[in-house]
């Protein structure tokens, strides 16, 4: 016999639908998934705190504001020139990152990092002491970008660009990146690290370097693989992203050599061309993104919001469309957060509901009654309705929660890794059906050793309490059955679009546990 329960609403972890039956028969549940915008690790909307300079977008936000009022924001991004982080050789200013990262990490969110070596606002984005140590480079002139809408006095300025293959430059850069890695490589609070040490703004646009390479008849990208391999070697435990323009801004090559190398190294991909131009060229490299997305994540950076709107390139529809076209895991908020929210909040909300992974629990089937120590199955069906995979994987766990909201038992099913759950393609869903083998409690009592003999009665003699008692691993009774996705040990990590979750354990029904 089968009892069917549809979970419509639950206000707390132990709440279930009216009419749920506690019985020895099979209970079938069809949870109602919501359209709530979720905040999850390793995906979502990303706010720029620093955008190549200290006075960028985060500076106008109130100290400690983690943009909880902007649905879907899961990370903050720090993009800074090397000169600010190592103003003197061996002296580091990680506090420029950590001071602003602290509240985000405390809120359960993450950070992203890029360090650049050539900038439009700093004569020496690569520290001048690197040049003084003998690193080769060249000056070039560039008009300074207006700050807060005002032209910078002086017009054109001289900027220094390094030879990206120079051995002195590479040695100093490697020392810096190793110091950075000691702090941030493999840090769970760091979502990604860009390869940003090549070209203007870290995007691969070279000026003096290009001029000098062309004079010598050399490939302007011949040094770029050195930076890719250096980042992989120094950050082996991090999600590292390459940047589209490093292989060519509007290059029509379907798979440039540098992008092939990036995939060989296990890099993710970043497309910085979103809404820089108006239709039909709203972006350039969704074809490259498609080569990465099956295995590694894709980040989308749209043009500065004010610049995009000024040139008529901004489109709410195209912003949302870009997420699906690139199978994107992250999307930037590249502008003043309040302005972006006030003028384009619906577009960001639509993008946030589909970006990255989004696991819906469609069906659950389990016995209404189980005995302590008895093996049984919980069958479930899941669908990833996002546009990308959960690249770092996740494990399904079933928990029993008692009437006081305490976790009484956890059963993690590591037979399936949710990194293999494919996202939907258009309207086509790719459901995953699982049959978790579970056992609640341990049949028998906890033994103790008495004269070398296992005794299954635990003797208590505490204060005035003296008794012989058989100790169960879980008390018989009624429990709320909860589903969660997270670590292999059953620790919940991922938010699901289900109601009633407490600590990211979501109730699916009631189950009765009986004595063995």
pLDDT (0 to 100) of residue 390? 98
Question: What confidence score (pLDDT) does residue 251 get?
Answer: 72
pLDDT value at position 144? 62
What is the CATH topology of the domain spanning 44-119+165-354? TIM Barrel (3.20.20)
| pLDDT at site 466 | 44
> What does the alpha-carbon distance between residue 212 and residue 160 come to, in Å, rounded to a whole number?
13
Three-state DSSP at 102 gives helix
Angle, helices 257-264/224-234, rounded to nearest 10 degrees? 10
Alpha helices in 185-285 (DSSP H): 208-215, 224-234, 257-264
At residue 248, the pLDDT reads: 87
pLDDT value of residue 443:
77
Q: And the tokens for 163?
A: 């030879």
Give the dihedral sign, CA 498/500/503/509.
negative
Give the residue extent of every domain in the chain. Answer: 2-37+359-514, 44-119+165-354
Residue 245 to residues 214, 228, 273, Cα–Cα distance (Å): 18, 14, 8
DSSP output for 375-397: EEEEEEEEEE-SSS--TT--EEE
∠ CA 60-63-64 to the nearest 5 degrees?
125
pLDDT value at residue 7:
42
Q: Cβ distance 185 to 235 under 8 Å?
A: yes
Q: Could you tell me whether strands 44-51 and 330-333 are parallel, antiparallel, or unpaired per DSSP bridges?
A: parallel
* Model pLDDT, residue 43: 98
pTM for the structure as a whole: 0.90
- Coarse DSSP helix, strand, coil percentages of the chain, rounded to the nearest 5 percent: 25, 30, 45
Q: What is the pLDDT of residue 372?
A: 92
Which tens digits make up the pLDDT trace of 320-370? 999 999 999 999 999 999 999 999 999 999 999 999 999 999 999 999 999
> For position 143, what pLDDT does the model report?
73
How do strand 26-29 and strand 465-469 relate by DSSP bridges? unpaired
DSSP 63: T
Beta bridge partners of 482: 399, 507
pLDDT of residue 17: 38
Taking alpha carbons only, the member of 489, 500, 513 closest to residue 402 is 513
Q: Which residue has the tokens 């700093």?
A: 122
State the CB neighbour count (10 A cutoff) for residue 479. 25
Question: What is the per-residue pLDDT for 471?
Answer: 55
| 2-37+359-514 and 44-119+165-354, same CATH topology | no
Inter-residue contact 469 to 460 (CB < 8 Å): yes
Tens of pLDDT, residue by residue over 430-460, are 999 999 999 999 875 555 545 444 444 444 4
Q: For residues 337 and 322, what is the distance between their CA atoms, to the nearest angstrom?
A: 20
| Summary count for the chain: helices (H), strands (E) | 11, 24
**Does the structural domain 2-37+359-514 have CATH classification 2.60.40.10?**
yes
Residues of the chain with pLDDT under 70: 1-24, 144-155, 444-472
């Amino acid at each position: 016999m089968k009892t069917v329960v549809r979970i419509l609403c639950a206000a707390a972890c132990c709440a279930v639908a009216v009419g749920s039956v506690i019985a020895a028969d099979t209970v079938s549940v069809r949870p109602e998934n919501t359209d709530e915008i979720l905040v999850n690790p390793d995906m979502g909307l990303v706010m720029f705190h620093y955008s190549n300079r200290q006075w960028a977008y985060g500076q106008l936000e109130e100290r400690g504001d983690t943009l909880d009022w902007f649905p879907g924001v899961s990370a903050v991004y720090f993009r800074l020139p090397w000169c600010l982080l190592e103003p003197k050789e061996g002296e580091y200013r990680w506090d420029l990152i950590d001071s602003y990262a602290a509240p985000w990490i405390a809120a359960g969110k993450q950070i992203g990092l890029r360090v650049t070596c050539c900038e439009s606002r700093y004569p020496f984005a690569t520290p001048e002491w690197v040049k003084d140590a003998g690193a080769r480079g060249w000056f070039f002139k560039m008009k300074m970008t207006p700050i807060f809408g005002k032209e910078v006095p002086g017009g054109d300025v001289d900027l220094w660009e390094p030879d990206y293959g120079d051995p002195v430059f590479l040695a100093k850069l490697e020392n810096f990146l190793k110091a950075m890695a000691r702090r941030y490589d493999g840090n769970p609070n760091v979502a990604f690290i860009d390869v940003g040490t090549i070209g203007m703004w870290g995007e691969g646009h070279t000026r003096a370097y290009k001029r000098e390479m062309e004079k010598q008849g050399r490939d302007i990208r011949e040094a770029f693989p050195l930076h890719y391999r250096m980042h992989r070697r120094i950050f082996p435990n991090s999600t590292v992203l390459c940047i589209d323009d490093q292989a060519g801004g509007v290059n029509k090559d379907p798979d440039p050599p540098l992008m092939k190398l990036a995939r060989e190294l296990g890099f993710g991909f970043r497309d910085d061309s979103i809404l820089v131009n108006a239709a039909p060229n709203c972006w350039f490299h969704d074809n490259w993104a498609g080569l990465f997305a099956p295995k590694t994540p894709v980040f989308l950076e749209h043009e500065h919001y004010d610049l995009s709107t000024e040139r008529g390139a901004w489109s709410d529809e195209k912003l949302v469309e870009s997420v699906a076209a690139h199978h994107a895991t992250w999307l930037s908020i590249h502008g003043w957060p309040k302005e972006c929210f006030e003028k384009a909040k619906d577009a960001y909300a639509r993008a946030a509901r589909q970006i990255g992974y989004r696991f819906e629990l469609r069906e659950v089937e389990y016995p209404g009654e189980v005995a302590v120590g008895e093996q049984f199955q919980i069958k479930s069906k899941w669908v990833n309705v996002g546009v990308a995979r959960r690249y770092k994987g996740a494990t399904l766990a079933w928990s029993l929660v008692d009437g006081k909201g305490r976790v009484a038992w956890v059963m993690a099913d590591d037979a399936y890794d949710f990194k293999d759950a494919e996202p939907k393609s258009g309207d086509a869903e790719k459901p995953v059906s699982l049959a978790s083998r579970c056992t609640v409690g341990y049949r028998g009592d906890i033994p103790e050793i008495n004269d070398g003999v296992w005794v299954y009665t635990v003797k208590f003699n505490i204060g005035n309490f003296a008794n012989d008692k058989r100790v169960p691993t879980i008390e018989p009774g009624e429990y709320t059955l909860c589903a969660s996705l997270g670590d292999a040990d059953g620790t919940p990590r991922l938010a699901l679009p289900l109601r009633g979750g407490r600590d990211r354990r979501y109730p699916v029904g009631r189950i009765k546990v009986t004595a063995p």
